[in-house]
Chain A
């Protein structure tokens, strides 16, 4: 045939072979190991685990290697693998109060029980390229070891809670929240589903939404009440035993924002909350999530909907998933010549009937979204 995109079988095989070759790169350079990625590109691994909704640093590192460092592609590999796994059950809710914290800061109190712990952060580094890193084989200076934090570090918001200054978080009764990955999304989604969508949502999208609230599109005056990063045990209740047993541990980033609130028809003046909880050390994402969570709570707090994108549950939830977004975006490179042909016929017909190269018809196709 005449059309290059037809006769695809051999083309596909050859493309895959070329891809594998490109992935390996220059063979003079030694191959990257999965362990190296896991250990030395840990923040990329964390993002892939968070947005892939699967906690497995080794598989996330493998996905990064396979995807040549394209993190959305890596997230996709993890998601596609995740759906094939049998679902044995659900864990008990993790207790972040019992987190073994590597980092724990509050922007609202100068000090709090448990103290401020900076941990391994970029926050106060000067962003100067470190050319010494380009020379391999240099050992980093040894970090000073401190006493570990006490096993229970109270949440900063608990102090506001005791004074009744912050909105009381309704603890849902026994209701197990719906699972976004096992049921179709139906609206209104409710907060548990919103939080599920945000924690696996695209970091860039959630960041952009959060940033828009800071610049005035649904502004909600956030303070980071507390940001903590550390390890928590995961427990699963085994019916045969009648009690929960620890099956492993995960690193989590938790962010609680304290937001100004002047009160509404239904609520007295008080502080309100936004919440972010994300796999791994992923604090940009966790803070963003907390801001967007807070913006989406306008209805429950009796606030006005000012029409800001971050207040629109349907808009945020339907567009936060980067695997859905990238798939639909990129599919427009698949052949569309049947549809295009039908548009060609139509345009020719309309122009013929208009008897001229009328500009009236040029607007028509602009409205027909590509499918």
Chain B
């Protein structure tokens, strides 16, 4: 608590607001995949920068927590740095880059490679919580569709993709069905991450601008939508990491010279760094001097 800025309440939000958010979270956990409206507050960072995730993190955070923030899988991307600093300043909590040591992990666009365990909370930043939004722009209509479990439109979309392109043309924010009931947007994670969503940790999703919270309790059944003859395919770059040699991690493609030369590296920086520290080497590891 030493580092906490005393001008603000613990974790910035006032206790009444946190209580309101916690109620929404509890409702979300009780009805997995259902989007709970909540009175999102204006935060001191812009909408679109993770205000939903920040409010959820603030509501669940306690002084003993150890907090990790990733954006695109990395701890040192600008916005991850900014959010981590925000909570260091307003909550004075300990921070870490180690996935295994963190109690609360706020993420944008990735699920860490290392398997999460019981007692951990993964908080997602969500831009558009409504998986049906790009099929039906009206919120009044989509809420009705969820209430009636009317997901035909989504299946038609996936079918048309296959008919026109031979494959489902959604690469991220790939829709899932939760416990056989609600179709849910997993936030814009690559579909590679979808299978990890059946996990031991609590998963909370915050959409600030759209004023929605939803949640997955531990071990909730999460199925990526597909067809029997076109099963879900969690693809990634067909390449090992050039730094740590991992074959099983999601990779960023980095352009390294003017001639279009490129290398593939783990998007999860903690995973990659830990592997390298344990002596794993990729094809270009020796050149890594930049």
Contacts and interface: CB of A to CB of B under 8 A. Distances in A.
A6 B74 contact: yes
Contact of A371 (B40, B72, B188): B188
B46 A5 contact: no
Interface in A307-348: 314, 318, 323-324, 326-332, 334-339, 341-346
B110 interface: yes
B79 interface: yes
B46 A76 contact: yes
Contacts of B188: 336, 338-339, 371
Contacts of A113: none
A360 interface: yes
A300 interface: no
A338 B139 contact: no
Nearest to B51: A327
Contacts of B38: 184
Contacts of A144: none
B44 A342 contact: no
Contacts of A133: none
Interface string A262-287: 00000000000000000000000000
A334 B71 contact: yes
Interface stretch (B56-64, B98-106, B167-175, B217-225): B167-175
Interface residues of B, number: 66
Contacts of A112: none
Contacts of A345: 171, 235-237
A136 interface: no
B140 A187 contact: yes
A52 B243 CA distance: 48
Interface string B43-74: 11011110100000000000000000001111
Interface in B156-206: 164-167, 169-173, 188-192
A238 interface: no
B71 A339 contact: no
Contacts of B72: 335-338
Contacts of A361: 165
A63 B169 CA distance: 45
Nearest to A327: B47
A182 B237 CA distance: 45
B172 A328 contact: no
B172 A327 contact: no
Interface string A229-273: 000000000000000000000000000000000000000000000
A86 B15 CA distance: 11
A8 B191 CA distance: 27
A341 B251 contact: yes
Contacts of B82: 8, 12
Interface stretch (B112-120, B146-154, B252-260): B252-260
A91 to B, nearest CB: 20
A80 B171 contact: no
B145 interface: no
A171 interface: no
Nearest to A188: B140
Interface in B62-96: 71-74, 76-82, 85
A31 B290 CA distance: 42
A318 B139 contact: yes
Contacts of A83: 41-43
Instruction: Sort chain A's interface into a size bin.
Output: 35 or more
Interface string B11-51: 00010000000000000000000000111111110111101
B14 A334 contact: no
Given A79-B42, A80-B42, A184-B37, A6 B76 contact: yes
Interface in A71-99: 76, 79-80, 82-84, 86
Contact of A334 (B49, B172, B192): B49
B253 A344 contact: yes
Contacts of A3: 252, 254
Which of A7, A183, A326, A346 has its CB near the most chain B CB atoms (within 10 A)?
A346
Contacts of B128: 371
B209 A327 contact: yes
Interface in B228-267: 235-237, 250-254, 256, 263, 265, 267
A338 B48 contact: no
B109 A330 contact: no
B138 interface: yes
Contacts of B167: 346, 349-350, 353
Contacts of B73: 338
Contact of B77 (A79, A82, A332, A335): A335
Nearest to B48: A331
A360 B164 contact: yes
B4 interface: no
Given A79-B42, A185-B211, A338 B252 contact: yes
B81 A9 contact: yes
B127 A328 contact: yes
Contact of B81 (A8, A344, A353): A8
Contact of B165 (A79, A331, A335, A364): A364
Contact of B48 (A5, A84, A186, A328): A328
Given A328-B48, A338-B72, A338-B110, A323 B127 contact: no
A368 interface: yes
Given A79-B42, A83-B42, A324-B209, A5 B252 contact: no
Given A84-B14, A342-B171, 12 more contacts: A83-B41, A184-B39, A327-B46, A336-B188, A338-B109, A338-B252, A339-B188, A339-B190, A342-B172, A343-B172, A350-B165, A350-B169
11 contacts: A8-B76, A184-B37, A327-B48, A328-B48, A338-B72, A341-B190, A341-B252, A341-B267, A350-B165, A360-B165, A371-B172
